[in-house]
Chain A
Amino acid sequence: MHVIGSDTGTLEVRTKKAGAAAKAGHNLRMEVGAWQATIDLDAAAATLTADPRSFRVIEGTGGVLPLGADEKAAIPQTIDEEVLKGTPIEFSSTNVDVAGGRVHVQGDLDLFGTRRPVGFELELADGRVRGSARIKQSDWGVKPYSALFGTLKVADEVEIAVDARSQDDA
């Protein structure tokens, strides 16, 4: 079984800006500070748990004004208070298919207090697990965060990417 987590790699959340005033916003690259995942090829099962209060901003790009340290620190607080609200982030697979070094995973993701199906592909190579998934917040019944009277928004689609060294727990 492959065990990965925040002590062996990164779980990134990447958001894009949208809306009529998108120029005023930033594309964000954030890291989840506390998470753990398992991939059990023998049992054809995969899981992930992530702490919704452990986000931190790595960088914000594309804004007219630079994203300062204060703003970087404020964003996780906004995510906690106005977006995730402390709801659990958990994934459990319903199907895992292995083809060569690639693993196709289907399962259910608990996010924003709602469980919805999601699929993604992982690559297992050189002792690492890499992969990404794109989800739409609206699929979980959530209206993407907006500011400036709705003219500046976070785009509905969010990319989640993992890159971690695998600890073989077999």
Chain B
Amino acid sequence: MLELDHSFTTGKPADYNWDAIVDLDRVIPCVEGGRVVERTSPDEAKAEIVVKMGAMSLTFKGTVAVAERDETAHRATLRVKSREAGGAGYANADVAFLLNDGGGTIHTKAQISGKAASMGEGVVQTVLDALITDFTQKLATI
């Protein structure tokens, strides 16, 4: 299990940030290579992410769901469950947001197996950290 902490700045009110984070159509494309494949309910979507490694790429397909929500406290957890396309690996994560005026914090717990994990935990953590940092930069413009 990998655990990572990040913060982000939007310069927007907490209510605005809340609306953005729990709107899967807005938040999923903020992940580089991520897209909504199908909205299956207001709180769940089928999605995929393509992680490009130069000429190589890994595709993960699965679901993203708003697993926990506390609008008063502006806390929400997005649960990602995905499998590696054409492989036996998976990438699951709970991404917990705590939003405030101006931005928020993210606590990520991730479990990754298969080809991606074969690069070693240190590499996976470095790449995941870079991916989430990129995600936070895109959140700033959401």
Contacts and interface: CB of A to CB of B under 8 A. Distances in A.
Interface of A: 20-21, 23-25, 64-65, 67, 71-72, 74-75, 78, 145, 147-152
B55 A71 contact: yes
Interface in B119-142: 119-120, 123, 126-127, 130-131, 133-134
Interface in B20-75: 32, 51-56
A75 B123 contact: no
A24 B133 contact: no
B123 A24 contact: yes
B53 A24 contact: yes
Contacts of B133: 149
Contact of A23 (B123, B130, B134): B123
Interface of B: 32, 51-56, 115, 118-120, 123, 126-127, 130-131, 133-134
Q: Which of A21, A71, A72, A74 has the largest count of B CB atoms less than 10 A from its CB?
A: A21
B55 A75 contact: yes
A150 B32 CA distance: 13
A21 B55 contact: no
A149 B134 contact: yes
